[in-house]
Chains A and B, each alone.
Chain A
Amino acid sequence: MNIKNCLTIAQKDWLEVKQNKSIFIPIMIVPLIFIVLIPLLVTLVLPNVTGAVEDFTADPDLQGFFTAMPAGMKEVIDGLTPTQLMIVMILGYMFAPMFLIIPLMFSTTIASESFAGEKERKTMEALLYLPISDEELFVGKVMAAGIPAVIITWICFFLYTIIVDVIPYPYFGRLWFPLPVWWLLIFWVSPALIAMSISLTVLISTKVQTFQGAYQTSSAVVLVVVVFFIGQMTGVLFLSPLVALIMGIVLFGIAAIIGKIGVRSFNRQKLLTE
Protein backbone atom coordinates (compact mmCIF):
# COMPACT_ATOMS: atom_id res chain seq x y z
CA MET A 1 0.00 0.00 0.00
CA ASN A 2 1.28 3.44 -0.98
CA ILE A 3 0.77 5.79 1.99
CA LYS A 4 1.57 8.80 -0.21
CA ASN A 5 -1.54 8.02 -2.27
CA CYS A 6 -3.63 7.72 0.92
CA LEU A 7 -2.37 11.10 2.11
CA THR A 8 -3.12 12.71 -1.28
CA ILE A 9 -6.72 11.47 -1.03
CA ALA A 10 -7.01 12.71 2.57
CA GLN A 11 -5.55 16.12 1.69
CA LYS A 12 -8.05 16.54 -1.14
CA ASP A 13 -10.92 15.75 1.23
CA TRP A 14 -9.64 18.25 3.80
CA LEU A 15 -9.45 20.91 1.15
CA GLU A 16 -13.00 20.15 0.08
CA VAL A 17 -14.33 20.29 3.65
CA LYS A 18 -12.47 23.56 4.22
CA GLN A 19 -14.11 25.04 1.13
CA ASN A 20 -17.56 23.81 2.15
CA LYS A 21 -18.76 26.55 4.51
CA SER A 22 -22.02 24.78 5.37
CA ILE A 23 -19.95 22.00 6.93
CA PHE A 24 -16.83 23.84 8.03
CA ILE A 25 -18.50 26.62 10.06
CA PRO A 26 -20.71 24.35 12.25
CA ILE A 27 -17.85 21.97 13.03
CA MET A 28 -15.70 24.89 14.12
CA ILE A 29 -18.43 26.65 16.12
CA VAL A 30 -19.44 23.68 18.31
CA PRO A 31 -15.94 23.15 19.75
CA LEU A 32 -15.70 26.87 20.46
CA ILE A 33 -18.93 26.70 22.47
CA PHE A 34 -17.71 23.63 24.36
CA ILE A 35 -14.19 24.72 25.15
CA VAL A 36 -14.59 28.48 25.51
CA LEU A 37 -18.16 29.58 26.12
CA ILE A 38 -19.28 26.96 28.67
CA PRO A 39 -16.06 27.10 30.77
CA LEU A 40 -16.25 30.89 30.80
CA LEU A 41 -19.86 30.76 31.91
CA VAL A 42 -19.10 28.30 34.72
CA THR A 43 -15.92 29.97 35.96
CA LEU A 44 -16.69 33.64 35.46
CA VAL A 45 -20.46 34.07 35.58
CA LEU A 46 -21.92 31.38 37.85
CA PRO A 47 -19.73 32.07 40.94
CA ASN A 48 -20.91 35.70 40.82
CA VAL A 49 -24.63 34.92 40.51
CA THR A 50 -26.15 35.28 43.95
CA GLY A 51 -27.18 31.91 45.39
CA ALA A 52 -26.03 29.92 42.34
CA VAL A 53 -23.20 28.12 44.13
CA GLU A 54 -25.34 27.36 47.19
CA ASP A 55 -28.24 26.13 45.07
CA PHE A 56 -25.91 23.88 43.11
CA THR A 57 -24.14 22.29 46.06
CA ALA A 58 -27.36 21.89 48.07
CA ASP A 59 -29.16 20.17 45.19
CA PRO A 60 -30.62 16.87 46.53
CA ASP A 61 -29.75 15.01 43.32
CA LEU A 62 -26.17 16.13 43.63
CA GLN A 63 -26.11 15.05 47.24
CA GLY A 64 -27.26 11.61 46.13
CA PHE A 65 -24.54 11.68 43.48
CA PHE A 66 -21.90 12.41 46.15
CA THR A 67 -23.18 9.59 48.34
CA ALA A 68 -22.98 7.00 45.57
CA MET A 69 -19.60 8.24 44.31
CA PRO A 70 -16.69 5.77 44.34
CA ALA A 71 -14.01 6.39 46.94
CA GLY A 72 -11.34 7.35 44.39
CA MET A 73 -13.50 10.12 43.02
CA LYS A 74 -14.48 11.34 46.49
CA GLU A 75 -10.83 11.97 47.29
CA VAL A 76 -10.71 14.54 44.51
CA ILE A 77 -13.58 16.60 45.85
CA ASP A 78 -12.89 16.23 49.57
CA GLY A 79 -12.13 19.55 51.22
CA LEU A 80 -13.19 21.74 48.29
CA THR A 81 -14.98 25.03 48.88
CA PRO A 82 -18.53 25.27 47.45
CA THR A 83 -17.31 27.34 44.46
CA GLN A 84 -14.44 24.95 43.79
CA LEU A 85 -16.82 22.03 44.13
CA MET A 86 -19.24 23.50 41.60
CA ILE A 87 -16.47 24.14 39.06
CA VAL A 88 -14.92 20.68 39.50
CA MET A 89 -18.26 18.91 39.31
CA ILE A 90 -19.47 20.73 36.20
CA LEU A 91 -16.26 21.11 34.21
CA GLY A 92 -14.36 18.10 35.53
CA TYR A 93 -17.05 15.40 35.75
CA MET A 94 -20.38 16.29 34.20
CA PHE A 95 -18.88 17.92 31.17
CA ALA A 96 -16.55 14.99 30.43
CA PRO A 97 -19.05 12.92 28.37
CA MET A 98 -20.15 16.05 26.50
CA PHE A 99 -16.57 16.69 25.43
CA LEU A 100 -16.75 13.44 23.45
CA ILE A 101 -19.19 15.13 21.10
CA ILE A 102 -16.26 17.04 19.56
CA PRO A 103 -14.39 14.00 18.09
CA LEU A 104 -17.69 12.40 17.24
CA MET A 105 -18.98 15.36 15.30
CA PHE A 106 -15.73 15.85 13.38
CA SER A 107 -15.32 12.22 12.42
CA THR A 108 -18.96 11.68 11.42
CA THR A 109 -19.21 14.87 9.38
CA ILE A 110 -15.94 14.42 7.48
CA ALA A 111 -16.45 10.69 6.93
CA SER A 112 -19.99 11.28 5.57
CA GLU A 113 -18.69 14.03 3.30
CA SER A 114 -15.73 11.93 2.23
CA PHE A 115 -17.57 8.69 1.45
CA ALA A 116 -21.25 9.45 0.75
CA GLY A 117 -20.63 13.05 -0.38
CA GLU A 118 -18.35 11.78 -3.13
CA LYS A 119 -21.09 9.41 -4.29
CA GLU A 120 -23.72 12.12 -4.11
CA ARG A 121 -21.70 14.50 -6.30
CA LYS A 122 -20.96 11.65 -8.72
CA THR A 123 -17.20 12.17 -8.41
CA MET A 124 -16.54 8.69 -7.06
CA GLU A 125 -16.33 7.04 -10.48
CA ALA A 126 -13.46 9.30 -11.59
CA LEU A 127 -11.61 8.23 -8.43
CA LEU A 128 -12.25 4.55 -9.17
CA TYR A 129 -10.56 4.94 -12.58
CA LEU A 130 -7.30 6.02 -10.91
CA PRO A 131 -4.34 3.61 -10.62
CA ILE A 132 -4.82 3.14 -6.89
CA SER A 133 -5.96 0.06 -5.02
CA ASP A 134 -9.26 -0.29 -3.14
CA GLU A 135 -7.22 -0.40 0.11
CA GLU A 136 -5.42 2.88 -0.63
CA LEU A 137 -8.72 4.57 -1.42
CA PHE A 138 -10.31 3.22 1.75
CA VAL A 139 -7.38 4.12 4.03
CA GLY A 140 -7.11 7.57 2.43
CA LYS A 141 -10.76 8.24 3.19
CA VAL A 142 -10.46 6.93 6.76
CA MET A 143 -7.39 9.15 7.29
CA ALA A 144 -9.33 12.11 5.93
CA ALA A 145 -11.88 11.75 8.71
CA GLY A 146 -9.74 10.26 11.48
CA ILE A 147 -6.65 12.49 11.53
CA PRO A 148 -8.42 15.86 11.89
CA ALA A 149 -10.87 14.42 14.43
CA VAL A 150 -7.99 13.22 16.65
CA ILE A 151 -5.91 16.38 16.23
CA ILE A 152 -8.83 18.75 16.83
CA THR A 153 -9.83 16.78 19.95
CA TRP A 154 -6.31 17.09 21.31
CA ILE A 155 -6.11 20.79 20.52
CA CYS A 156 -9.52 21.35 22.13
CA PHE A 157 -8.38 19.44 25.21
CA PHE A 158 -5.22 21.56 25.40
CA LEU A 159 -7.20 24.81 25.14
CA TYR A 160 -9.86 23.57 27.57
CA THR A 161 -7.13 22.70 30.08
CA ILE A 162 -5.68 26.20 29.86
CA ILE A 163 -9.07 27.88 30.23
CA VAL A 164 -10.35 25.80 33.15
CA ASP A 165 -7.01 26.07 34.97
CA VAL A 166 -6.18 29.72 34.36
CA ILE A 167 -9.53 31.50 34.74
CA PRO A 168 -10.62 29.93 38.06
CA TYR A 169 -7.05 30.07 39.42
CA PRO A 170 -8.09 32.74 41.98
CA TYR A 171 -10.59 30.24 43.46
CA PHE A 172 -8.14 27.30 43.57
CA GLY A 173 -4.69 28.81 43.91
CA ARG A 174 -3.41 25.77 41.97
CA LEU A 175 -3.86 23.96 38.63
CA TRP A 176 -6.64 21.44 39.26
CA PHE A 177 -7.28 20.16 35.74
CA PRO A 178 -7.03 17.61 34.07
CA LEU A 179 -8.47 15.05 36.44
CA PRO A 180 -6.87 11.59 36.00
CA VAL A 181 -9.81 10.19 34.03
CA TRP A 182 -9.50 12.89 31.33
CA TRP A 183 -6.19 11.47 30.08
CA LEU A 184 -7.93 8.21 29.29
CA LEU A 185 -10.92 10.03 27.90
CA ILE A 186 -8.86 12.05 25.42
CA PHE A 187 -6.15 9.58 24.45
CA TRP A 188 -8.07 6.29 24.68
CA VAL A 189 -11.87 6.74 24.57
CA SER A 190 -11.90 9.54 21.96
CA PRO A 191 -9.82 7.61 19.36
CA ALA A 192 -12.03 4.56 20.00
CA LEU A 193 -15.15 6.62 19.48
CA ILE A 194 -13.67 8.14 16.30
CA ALA A 195 -12.80 4.67 15.00
CA MET A 196 -16.32 3.46 15.71
CA SER A 197 -18.06 6.43 14.13
CA ILE A 198 -15.89 6.24 10.98
CA SER A 199 -16.49 2.48 10.64
CA LEU A 200 -20.21 3.02 10.98
CA THR A 201 -20.21 5.92 8.50
CA VAL A 202 -18.26 3.86 5.94
CA LEU A 203 -20.73 1.03 6.27
CA ILE A 204 -23.73 3.36 5.99
CA SER A 205 -22.16 5.28 3.10
CA THR A 206 -21.94 2.14 0.99
CA LYS A 207 -25.72 1.81 1.32
CA VAL A 208 -26.93 5.41 1.06
CA GLN A 209 -26.46 7.89 -1.78
CA THR A 210 -26.29 11.25 0.00
CA PHE A 211 -24.18 13.07 2.56
CA GLN A 212 -27.29 13.89 4.62
CA GLY A 213 -28.39 10.25 4.61
CA ALA A 214 -25.01 9.06 5.84
CA TYR A 215 -24.59 11.88 8.35
CA GLN A 216 -28.01 11.54 9.93
CA THR A 217 -27.82 7.78 10.25
CA SER A 218 -24.27 7.65 11.57
CA SER A 219 -25.01 10.47 14.02
CA ALA A 220 -26.85 7.82 16.00
CA VAL A 221 -23.45 7.15 17.61
CA VAL A 222 -24.15 10.23 19.70
CA LEU A 223 -26.45 7.94 21.71
CA VAL A 224 -23.30 6.46 23.26
CA VAL A 225 -22.46 9.90 24.62
CA VAL A 226 -26.05 10.55 25.72
CA VAL A 227 -26.24 7.21 27.57
CA PHE A 228 -22.91 7.94 29.19
CA PHE A 229 -24.02 11.44 30.20
CA ILE A 230 -27.33 10.29 31.67
CA GLY A 231 -25.59 7.40 33.44
CA GLN A 232 -23.19 9.83 35.05
CA MET A 233 -25.87 12.37 36.00
CA THR A 234 -28.11 9.75 37.58
CA GLY A 235 -25.26 8.12 39.43
CA VAL A 236 -25.68 4.81 37.60
CA LEU A 237 -22.31 5.06 35.83
CA PHE A 238 -19.42 7.03 37.26
CA LEU A 239 -16.68 8.03 34.93
CA SER A 240 -13.75 6.44 36.69
CA PRO A 241 -10.48 5.52 34.94
CA LEU A 242 -11.55 1.86 35.00
CA VAL A 243 -14.88 2.68 33.32
CA ALA A 244 -13.06 4.76 30.68
CA LEU A 245 -10.60 1.93 30.04
CA ILE A 246 -13.40 -0.62 29.57
CA MET A 247 -15.39 1.82 27.47
CA GLY A 248 -12.44 2.29 25.09
CA ILE A 249 -11.95 -1.47 24.73
CA VAL A 250 -15.66 -1.97 23.96
CA LEU A 251 -15.73 0.88 21.43
CA PHE A 252 -12.57 -0.34 19.67
CA GLY A 253 -14.08 -3.83 19.55
CA ILE A 254 -17.30 -2.57 17.99
CA ALA A 255 -15.26 -0.43 15.55
CA ALA A 256 -13.25 -3.50 14.50
CA ILE A 257 -16.39 -5.55 13.81
CA ILE A 258 -18.24 -2.82 11.92
CA GLY A 259 -15.02 -1.81 10.14
CA LYS A 260 -14.46 -5.35 8.89
CA ILE A 261 -17.94 -5.41 7.36
CA GLY A 262 -17.38 -1.92 5.91
CA VAL A 263 -14.05 -2.88 4.32
CA ARG A 264 -15.71 -5.86 2.62
CA SER A 265 -18.33 -3.56 1.12
CA PHE A 266 -15.74 -1.06 -0.02
CA ASN A 267 -14.53 -2.39 -3.32
CA ARG A 268 -14.97 -1.04 -6.82
CA GLN A 269 -17.42 -3.68 -8.00
CA LYS A 270 -19.70 -3.30 -4.98
CA LEU A 271 -19.56 0.49 -5.06
CA LEU A 272 -20.68 0.47 -8.69
CA THR A 273 -23.23 -2.31 -8.58
CA GLU A 274 -24.98 -2.01 -5.19
Chain B
Amino acid sequence: MDVIQLDQVSFQYAEGFALRDISFRIQKGEIFALLGPNGAGKTTTIRLVNGLLNTSSGTIKVLGYDPHKDGVAVRRKTGVLTETPALYDRLTAVENLMFFGKLNGMSEADLHKRIQELLDYFDLSEHANQRVGTYSRGMRQRLAIARALLHHPELLFLDEPTSNLDPEIARQVQELILKIKEEEGCSVVICTHRLYEAEQVCDHAAIMHQGKILAEGSLQELREASGLTKRVRFTFREAVAEGFEQDITRITNVEKIDLINEKELLLGVSDYDRVPEILNWVIGKGAAVLSVVPEIPSLEEVYFKLQNHEEVKREY
Protein backbone atom coordinates (compact mmCIF):
# COMPACT_ATOMS: atom_id res chain seq x y z
CA MET B 1 0.00 0.00 0.00
CA ASP B 2 1.32 3.42 -0.97
CA VAL B 3 1.35 5.90 1.89
CA ILE B 4 2.71 8.69 -0.30
CA GLN B 5 2.16 9.22 -4.02
CA LEU B 6 3.65 12.11 -5.93
CA ASP B 7 2.79 12.46 -9.60
CA GLN B 8 4.50 15.04 -11.81
CA VAL B 9 4.79 17.50 -8.94
CA SER B 10 6.36 20.90 -9.51
CA PHE B 11 6.76 23.79 -7.11
CA GLN B 12 7.94 27.29 -7.82
CA TYR B 13 9.27 29.85 -5.32
CA ALA B 14 9.49 33.52 -6.33
CA GLU B 15 13.12 32.97 -7.33
CA GLY B 16 12.41 29.97 -9.54
CA PHE B 17 11.50 26.28 -9.63
CA ALA B 18 12.34 24.27 -6.52
CA LEU B 19 10.84 21.05 -7.90
CA ARG B 20 10.24 19.95 -11.47
CA ASP B 21 7.91 17.09 -12.35
CA ILE B 22 8.93 14.79 -9.56
CA SER B 23 7.13 11.46 -9.07
CA PHE B 24 7.66 8.70 -6.55
CA ARG B 25 5.75 6.38 -4.26
CA ILE B 26 6.47 5.30 -0.72
CA GLN B 27 5.06 2.11 0.69
CA LYS B 28 3.77 1.42 4.17
CA GLY B 29 6.46 0.37 6.63
CA GLU B 30 9.47 1.24 4.50
CA ILE B 31 12.34 3.61 5.11
CA PHE B 32 12.66 5.88 2.11
CA ALA B 33 15.58 8.26 1.63
CA LEU B 34 15.46 11.51 -0.32
CA LEU B 35 19.09 12.10 -1.22
CA GLY B 36 20.68 15.21 -2.57
CA PRO B 37 22.75 18.28 -1.76
CA ASN B 38 21.35 21.44 -0.15
CA GLY B 39 18.93 23.06 -2.58
CA ALA B 40 18.00 19.76 -4.24
CA GLY B 41 14.36 20.16 -3.14
CA LYS B 42 14.19 17.67 -0.27
CA THR B 43 12.77 20.05 2.36
CA THR B 44 10.33 21.54 -0.16
CA THR B 45 9.08 18.01 -0.86
CA ILE B 46 8.39 17.43 2.85
CA ARG B 47 6.59 20.76 3.08
CA LEU B 48 4.40 19.89 0.11
CA VAL B 49 3.60 16.42 1.41
CA ASN B 50 2.51 17.92 4.75
CA GLY B 51 0.34 20.59 3.14
CA LEU B 52 2.52 23.56 4.15
CA LEU B 53 2.91 24.51 0.52
CA ASN B 54 0.65 23.96 -2.46
CA THR B 55 1.96 22.44 -5.68
CA SER B 56 2.37 24.57 -8.79
CA SER B 57 1.31 21.49 -10.77
CA GLY B 58 0.92 17.75 -10.26
CA THR B 59 -0.88 15.75 -7.59
CA ILE B 60 0.02 14.45 -4.14
CA LYS B 61 -1.78 11.85 -2.04
CA VAL B 62 -0.71 11.19 1.52
CA LEU B 63 -2.45 8.36 3.43
CA GLY B 64 -5.35 8.85 1.03
CA TYR B 65 -5.62 12.64 1.60
CA ASP B 66 -4.85 15.61 -0.59
CA PRO B 67 -2.46 17.50 1.73
CA HIS B 68 -3.40 20.91 0.37
CA LYS B 69 -7.12 20.41 1.04
CA ASP B 70 -6.80 18.19 4.13
CA GLY B 71 -3.55 19.47 5.61
CA VAL B 72 -4.78 19.17 9.19
CA ALA B 73 -5.83 15.51 8.64
CA VAL B 74 -2.45 14.71 7.07
CA ARG B 75 -0.45 16.43 9.79
CA ARG B 76 -2.44 14.58 12.45
CA LYS B 77 -0.87 11.38 11.12
CA THR B 78 2.63 12.62 10.41
CA GLY B 79 5.55 13.53 12.62
CA VAL B 80 8.31 15.79 11.35
CA LEU B 81 11.84 16.38 12.53
CA THR B 82 12.70 19.72 10.94
CA GLU B 83 16.18 20.52 9.68
CA THR B 84 16.89 22.55 12.85
CA PRO B 85 15.45 21.01 16.04
CA ALA B 86 13.07 24.01 16.44
CA LEU B 87 12.58 23.54 20.17
CA TYR B 88 11.67 26.25 22.66
CA ASP B 89 14.92 26.95 24.50
CA ARG B 90 13.30 28.72 27.44
CA LEU B 91 10.96 25.81 28.14
CA THR B 92 11.89 22.48 29.70
CA ALA B 93 11.79 19.22 27.78
CA VAL B 94 8.49 18.30 29.43
CA GLU B 95 6.97 21.72 28.66
CA ASN B 96 8.06 21.43 25.03
CA LEU B 97 6.56 17.96 24.66
CA MET B 98 3.36 18.92 26.52
CA PHE B 99 2.81 21.82 24.14
CA PHE B 100 3.29 19.79 20.97
CA GLY B 101 1.33 16.83 22.38
CA LYS B 102 -1.68 18.96 23.27
CA LEU B 103 -1.76 20.48 19.79
CA ASN B 104 -1.57 16.97 18.37
CA GLY B 105 -4.86 16.30 20.16
CA MET B 106 -3.49 14.05 22.91
CA SER B 107 -5.23 13.91 26.28
CA GLU B 108 -3.23 15.07 29.29
CA ALA B 109 -3.20 11.59 30.85
CA ASP B 110 -1.94 9.90 27.67
CA LEU B 111 0.55 12.67 27.20
CA HIS B 112 2.15 12.31 30.64
CA LYS B 113 2.57 8.59 30.10
CA ARG B 114 3.95 8.98 26.57
CA ILE B 115 6.35 11.76 27.57
CA GLN B 116 7.84 9.64 30.33
CA GLU B 117 8.11 6.69 27.92
CA LEU B 118 9.93 8.77 25.29
CA LEU B 119 12.22 10.54 27.74
CA ASP B 120 13.25 7.14 29.11
CA TYR B 121 13.70 5.77 25.60
CA PHE B 122 15.85 8.71 24.53
CA ASP B 123 17.79 8.75 27.79
CA LEU B 124 16.60 12.23 28.70
CA SER B 125 14.63 11.52 31.89
CA GLU B 126 17.28 13.01 34.14
CA HIS B 127 17.05 16.28 32.23
CA ALA B 128 13.26 16.32 31.86
CA ASN B 129 12.78 19.53 33.83
CA GLN B 130 15.86 21.28 32.57
CA ARG B 131 15.53 24.13 30.09
CA VAL B 132 16.22 22.96 26.55
CA GLY B 133 18.57 25.92 26.03
CA THR B 134 21.05 24.14 28.31
CA TYR B 135 20.98 20.90 26.25
CA SER B 136 23.84 19.67 24.06
CA ARG B 137 23.25 19.28 20.31
CA GLY B 138 22.80 15.54 20.62
CA MET B 139 20.26 15.93 23.44
CA ARG B 140 18.33 18.50 21.43
CA GLN B 141 18.24 16.25 18.40
CA ARG B 142 17.03 13.32 20.49
CA LEU B 143 14.34 15.49 22.04
CA ALA B 144 13.27 16.76 18.61
CA ILE B 145 12.94 13.16 17.38
CA ALA B 146 10.94 12.34 20.53
CA ARG B 147 8.65 15.26 19.70
CA ALA B 148 8.10 13.93 16.19
CA LEU B 149 7.16 10.50 17.63
CA LEU B 150 4.97 11.83 20.42
CA HIS B 151 1.56 11.12 18.85
CA HIS B 152 2.48 7.73 17.28
CA PRO B 153 2.61 9.03 13.69
CA GLU B 154 1.97 6.68 10.79
CA LEU B 155 4.50 8.59 8.75
CA LEU B 156 7.71 10.01 10.11
CA PHE B 157 9.80 12.62 8.27
CA LEU B 158 13.37 13.17 9.36
CA ASP B 159 15.06 16.12 7.68
CA GLU B 160 18.84 15.77 8.02
CA PRO B 161 18.52 13.77 11.24
CA THR B 162 22.25 13.53 11.89
CA SER B 163 23.53 16.86 10.61
CA ASN B 164 25.67 18.69 13.19
CA LEU B 165 25.96 15.57 15.30
CA ASP B 166 29.22 13.92 16.23
CA PRO B 167 29.75 10.44 14.76
CA GLU B 168 28.80 8.60 17.91
CA ILE B 169 25.47 10.38 18.27
CA ALA B 170 24.87 10.10 14.52
CA ARG B 171 25.25 6.35 14.82
CA GLN B 172 22.84 6.26 17.75
CA VAL B 173 20.30 8.14 15.63
CA GLN B 174 20.72 5.64 12.77
CA GLU B 175 20.11 2.75 15.16
CA LEU B 176 17.14 4.60 16.49
CA ILE B 177 15.61 4.99 13.02
CA LEU B 178 15.76 1.23 12.49
CA LYS B 179 14.33 0.65 15.95
CA ILE B 180 11.49 3.09 15.31
CA LYS B 181 10.57 1.30 12.09
CA GLU B 182 10.57 -2.02 13.90
CA GLU B 183 8.84 -0.99 17.11
CA GLU B 184 6.51 1.81 15.99
CA GLY B 185 5.78 0.24 12.62
CA CYS B 186 5.66 3.60 10.88
CA SER B 187 6.95 4.52 7.44
CA VAL B 188 9.99 6.77 7.57
CA VAL B 189 11.17 9.36 5.05
CA ILE B 190 14.72 10.58 5.59
CA CYS B 191 16.14 13.61 3.84
CA THR B 192 19.87 13.59 3.89
CA HIS B 193 23.01 14.39 2.00
CA ARG B 194 24.87 11.81 4.10
CA LEU B 195 24.84 8.90 1.72
CA TYR B 196 26.61 6.41 3.94
CA GLU B 197 23.97 6.97 6.58
CA ALA B 198 21.13 6.45 4.10
CA GLU B 199 22.73 3.27 2.87
CA GLN B 200 22.71 1.87 6.40
CA VAL B 201 19.00 2.36 6.99
CA CYS B 202 16.91 2.86 3.85
CA ASP B 203 14.95 0.33 1.80
CA HIS B 204 14.33 2.64 -1.12
CA ALA B 205 15.74 5.99 -2.16
CA ALA B 206 15.30 8.80 -4.63
CA ILE B 207 18.31 10.79 -5.74
CA MET B 208 17.45 14.45 -6.19
CA HIS B 209 19.42 17.11 -7.96
CA GLN B 210 18.31 20.68 -8.62
CA GLY B 211 14.64 19.90 -8.08
CA LYS B 212 14.58 16.76 -10.21
CA ILE B 213 14.69 13.07 -9.41
CA LEU B 214 17.65 11.47 -11.15
CA ALA B 215 16.79 7.91 -10.12
CA GLU B 216 14.46 6.18 -7.71
CA GLY B 217 14.16 2.62 -6.43
CA SER B 218 15.80 0.06 -4.17
CA LEU B 219 19.54 0.38 -3.64
CA GLN B 220 20.08 -2.41 -6.16
CA GLU B 221 17.89 -0.63 -8.71
CA LEU B 222 19.84 2.58 -8.16
CA ARG B 223 23.12 0.74 -8.74
CA GLU B 224 21.73 -0.66 -11.97
CA ALA B 225 20.44 2.75 -13.03
CA SER B 226 23.88 4.24 -12.48
CA GLY B 227 25.52 1.61 -14.70
CA LEU B 228 28.06 0.76 -11.99
CA THR B 229 29.04 -2.93 -12.18
CA LYS B 230 29.63 -5.50 -9.47
CA ARG B 231 33.27 -5.67 -8.51
CA VAL B 232 35.76 -8.07 -6.99
CA ARG B 233 38.95 -6.94 -5.30
CA PHE B 234 41.95 -9.30 -5.69
CA THR B 235 44.98 -8.82 -3.41
CA PHE B 236 48.22 -10.68 -4.25
CA ARG B 237 51.28 -11.51 -2.15
CA GLU B 238 53.61 -10.23 -4.84
CA ALA B 239 53.37 -7.79 -7.72
CA VAL B 240 51.40 -9.21 -10.66
CA ALA B 241 53.34 -10.20 -13.77
CA GLU B 242 53.48 -7.82 -16.71
CA GLY B 243 50.59 -8.38 -19.12
CA PHE B 244 48.46 -10.02 -16.42
CA GLU B 245 45.74 -7.39 -16.78
CA GLN B 246 45.50 -7.87 -20.53
CA ASP B 247 45.29 -11.65 -20.12
CA ILE B 248 42.52 -11.48 -17.55
CA THR B 249 40.28 -9.44 -19.83
CA ARG B 250 40.04 -12.48 -22.06
CA ILE B 251 38.00 -14.25 -19.40
CA THR B 252 34.29 -14.08 -20.01
CA ASN B 253 32.29 -11.72 -17.78
CA VAL B 254 35.22 -9.62 -16.69
CA GLU B 255 33.96 -6.26 -17.82
CA LYS B 256 36.48 -3.85 -16.42
CA ILE B 257 39.88 -3.86 -14.75
CA ASP B 258 41.41 -1.26 -12.47
CA LEU B 259 44.97 -1.79 -11.32
CA ILE B 260 44.83 -0.17 -7.88
CA ASN B 261 48.52 -0.86 -7.27
CA GLU B 262 50.95 -3.60 -8.37
CA LYS B 263 49.51 -6.03 -5.81
CA GLU B 264 45.83 -5.10 -6.08
CA LEU B 265 43.28 -5.45 -8.89
CA LEU B 266 39.65 -4.42 -9.07
CA LEU B 267 37.62 -6.45 -11.57
CA GLY B 268 34.19 -5.51 -12.84
CA VAL B 269 32.04 -8.65 -13.23
CA SER B 270 28.54 -9.27 -14.54
CA ASP B 271 27.83 -11.87 -11.86
CA TYR B 272 29.47 -12.94 -8.62
CA ASP B 273 28.89 -16.59 -9.69
CA ARG B 274 31.80 -16.11 -12.07
CA VAL B 275 34.28 -15.44 -9.24
CA PRO B 276 35.36 -19.13 -8.69
CA GLU B 277 36.11 -19.46 -12.41
CA ILE B 278 38.18 -16.24 -12.38
CA LEU B 279 39.97 -17.36 -9.22
CA ASN B 280 40.89 -20.71 -10.79
CA TRP B 281 42.32 -18.91 -13.81
CA VAL B 282 44.35 -16.55 -11.61
CA ILE B 283 45.75 -19.41 -9.51
CA GLY B 284 46.49 -21.33 -12.71
CA LYS B 285 48.67 -18.39 -13.76
CA GLY B 286 50.73 -18.94 -10.62
CA ALA B 287 49.64 -15.79 -8.79
CA ALA B 288 49.63 -16.05 -4.98
CA VAL B 289 46.20 -14.73 -3.97
CA LEU B 290 45.93 -13.26 -0.48
CA SER B 291 42.26 -12.25 -0.62
CA VAL B 292 39.27 -12.07 -2.94
CA VAL B 293 36.57 -9.66 -1.78
CA PRO B 294 33.34 -8.97 -3.68
CA GLU B 295 32.46 -5.26 -3.52
CA ILE B 296 29.09 -3.61 -4.02
CA PRO B 297 29.24 -0.04 -5.34
CA SER B 298 28.39 2.29 -2.47
CA LEU B 299 25.42 4.62 -2.61
CA GLU B 300 27.92 7.45 -2.68
CA GLU B 301 29.47 6.13 -5.88
CA VAL B 302 26.02 5.63 -7.40
CA TYR B 303 25.02 9.13 -6.40
CA PHE B 304 28.07 10.81 -7.90
CA LYS B 305 27.85 8.75 -11.06
CA LEU B 306 24.22 9.79 -11.59
CA GLN B 307 24.92 13.39 -10.67
CA ASN B 308 27.90 13.64 -13.01
CA HIS B 309 25.83 12.05 -15.74
CA GLU B 310 23.14 14.69 -15.22
CA GLU B 311 25.67 17.52 -15.27
CA VAL B 312 27.30 16.21 -18.46
CA LYS B 313 23.82 15.96 -20.00
CA ARG B 314 23.08 19.56 -19.00
CA GLU B 315 26.32 20.79 -20.55
CA TYR B 316 25.27 19.35 -23.91
Residues of A whose CB lies within 8 Å of any CB of B are 5, 8-9, 12, 15-16, 19-20, 121-126, 128-133, 268-269, 272-274
Contacts and interface: CB of A to CB of B under 8 A. Distances in A.
B102 A8 contact: yes
B104 interface: yes
B99 A8 contact: yes
B47 interface: yes
Interface stretch (B83-91, B237-245, B250-258): B83-91
Interface residues of B, number: 32
Contact of A273 (B13, B82, B89, B147): B13
Most buried by A among B73, B89, B90: B90
B260 interface: no
Nearest to A274: B14
Nearest to B54: A269
A20 B52 contact: no
Interface string B15-56: 000000000000000000000000000000001001111100
A131 B75 contact: yes
A129 B75 contact: yes
Nearest to A16: B90
Interface of B: 13-14, 47, 50-54, 71-73, 75-76, 78, 80, 82, 84, 86-91, 95, 99-100, 102-105, 131, 147
B103 A9 contact: yes
Nearest to A123: B86
A16 B105 contact: no
A16 B90 CA distance: 6
Contact of B104 (A15, A19, A124, A130): A130
A89 B72 CA distance: 56
Contacts of A128: 52
Nearest to B102: A8
Given A8-B102, A269-B53, A126 B82 contact: yes
A50 to B, nearest CB: 51
Contacts of B80: 126, 129
Given A125-B82, A128-B52, A12 B88 contact: yes
